[in-house]
Amino acid sequence: MAGYQDIVGHKRIKEQLKSAIELDKVSHAYIFHGPKDSGKMMLAEAFAMALQCEQKNPCGCGECRSCKQAMHRNQPDIIYVQHEKPNVISVQEIREQLVGDMEIKPYSSRYKIYIIDEAEKMNPQAQNAILKTIEEPPHYGIILLLTSNVDMLLQTIRSRCVRIDLKTVADDLIRKYLMEKHQIPDYQANVATAFAQGNVGKAVHLSTSQEFAEEKNQVLSIVRKVSDLRIADVGDRIKEMEVYKDDMGEYLNLMQIWYRDVLYWKSTGQIDGLIFRDELQEIRKQAERLAYRGLQIAFDCIEKARLRLQANGNFELIMELLLLEIKEIYQWQE
């Protein structure tokens, strides 16, 4: 478990939670809403640790027995609701782990805090079971619902909770975090940050993922050589791409970022704004060959391929058309 000091970004939310403790205006129910890996669990855990801090530090002191227990996830009055089936949280699990358990007073702390991750997986019966507890909780009871799809929760639950909507984190903060905290090389941090779109957890995953590194290298092998691609070799290249058929959205994003870098260099000649900075020599070469209109066509072709794939079009035909259309733009002149 991390404290607020270890959480990148989300300054407004951290201040809001800290103020709730300082002003003694803590609600009995919160919804932390944001995409997967956006930091919901880290914020909820830091808030829970601060609430239970024996020194009454609104950020958690990190030194008292309760804070140390919380950091190791063995604080007896911070309960993580578990579920056996991966796609559903049942009414029985909510009744046993939360509704019934909350009737028992805290073991050693001021509050009894329940953290429900993936709260959208509660079935309607489970949500109705928790609703009465949210409406009439004991004075020591606090429920933290974490969800990536708040609309899956009953309106009656949403209306009775303080909603915390996680915003994207600035790219420069994510890049700095990857390089300083995880010792990620700058060129690798650039790519992961661009793809994460403000999601710190996703950036960490991408920067350390061998699968993502292999996918990136495969895309680069395509865009470096597509201008010289022979018609007879198109089928072989499509077979290489087919490995990523189930996640072509990410693959096409990598292609778009490549041509975005080419356009950026052609327009500015500045290295600082490049994502694939370690590919500068090839980016410069392509920027000299490609016309502005050709680059716009490349973006349009990639987006059309994305839409066709989403419409369940034939993969091989869509990718063949994409490669041939992009190959064509290298023949254009300014």
Encode pLDDT of 54-63 as tens digits.
999 999 988 9
Predicted confidence band at 98 (pLDDT cuts at 50, 70, 90)? very high
Quickly tell me which residue has 């994003």 as its tokens. Answer: 253
User: What is residue 37's predicted lDDT score, i.e. its pLDDT?
Assistant: 84
Judge if 133 and 230 occupy the same domain. no
Judge if 19 and 152 occupy the same domain. yes
Give the mean pLDDT of 291-305: 92
3-state DSSP assignment of residue 42: helix
| Residue 19 in domain | yes
Give the mean pLDDT of 41-64: 93
Are residues 81 and 114 in contact, defined by beta-carbon separation less than 8 angstroms? Answer: yes
Judge if 39 and 149 occupy the same domain. yes
| Residue 282 in domain | yes
DSSP bridge pairs for 112: 141
List strands edge to edge, sheet with 78-80: 78-80, 112-116, 141-147, 29-33, 162-165
Q: What is the pTM of this model?
A: 0.76
Predicted confidence band at 233 (pLDDT cuts at 50, 70, 90)? confident
C-alpha to C-alpha distance for 287 and 264, rounded to whole angstroms:
9
Note the pLDDT tens digit of each residue in 4-37. Answer: 778 888 899 999 999 999 999 999 999 999 988 8
User: Total structural domains in the chain?
Assistant: 2
User: What is residue 265's predicted lDDT score, i.e. its pLDDT?
Assistant: 92
User: What is residue 1's predicted lDDT score, i.e. its pLDDT?
Assistant: 61
Whether residue 333 has pLDDT greater than 70: no
| Residue 147 in domain | yes
User: What is residue 191's predicted lDDT score, i.e. its pLDDT?
Assistant: 84
Name the range with the highest mean pLDDT among 175-189, 226-240, 294-308. 294-308
| Residue 180 in domain | no
Predicted confidence band at 334 (pLDDT cuts at 50, 70, 90)? low
User: What is residue 122's predicted lDDT score, i.e. its pLDDT?
Assistant: 95
Residue type at position 151: D
Pick the closest to residue 32 from 150, 173, 196, 133 (CA basis): 150
C-alpha to C-alpha distance for 3 and 96, rounded to whole angstroms:
29
| Residue 16 in domain | yes
Judge if 35 and 158 occupy the same domain. yes
Which positions ≥6 away from 224 have C-beta within 8 Å?
A: 282
The rounded mean pLDDT for the chain is 90
Note the pLDDT tens digit of each residue in 271-285. Answer: 888 888 888 999 999
Give the mean pLDDT of 263-273: 89
Judge if 251 and 312 occupy the same domain. yes
Judge if 147 and 16 occupy the same domain. yes
Judge if 230 and 160 occupy the same domain. no
User: What is residue 146's predicted lDDT score, i.e. its pLDDT?
Assistant: 97
| Residue 81 in domain | yes
Give the mean pLDDT of 308-316: 90
Judge if 69 and 217 occupy the same domain. no
Domain of 227: which CATH number?
Answer: 1.20.272.10
Q: Where are the alpha helices (DSSP H) in the chain?
A: 11-22, 40-52, 65-71, 91-94, 124-135, 155-158, 171-181, 186-196, 200-208, 210-225, 234-241, 248-268, 280-289, 292-310, 315-329
C-alpha to C-alpha distance for 216 and 268, rounded to whole angstroms:
24
Whether residue 86 has pLDDT greater than 70: yes
| Residue 35 in domain | yes
Judge if 115 and 262 occupy the same domain. no
C-alpha to C-alpha distance for 305 and 211, rounded to whole angstroms:
23
| Residue 90 in domain | yes
Range of the domain at 159: 4-165
Judge if 9 and 119 occupy the same domain. yes
Judge if 105 and 251 occupy the same domain. no
Judge if 222 and 290 occupy the same domain. yes
User: What is residue 300's predicted lDDT score, i.e. its pLDDT?
Assistant: 93
User: What is residue 28's predicted lDDT score, i.e. its pLDDT?
Assistant: 95
Domain boundary among 146, 165, 184: 165
Name the range with the highest mean pLDDT among 98-112, 172-186, 240-254. 98-112
Whether residue 82 has pLDDT greater than 60: yes
Domain of 37: which CATH number?
Answer: 3.40.50.300
User: What is residue 332's predicted lDDT score, i.e. its pLDDT?
Assistant: 61
Tell me the two tokens of residue 184.
């990620």
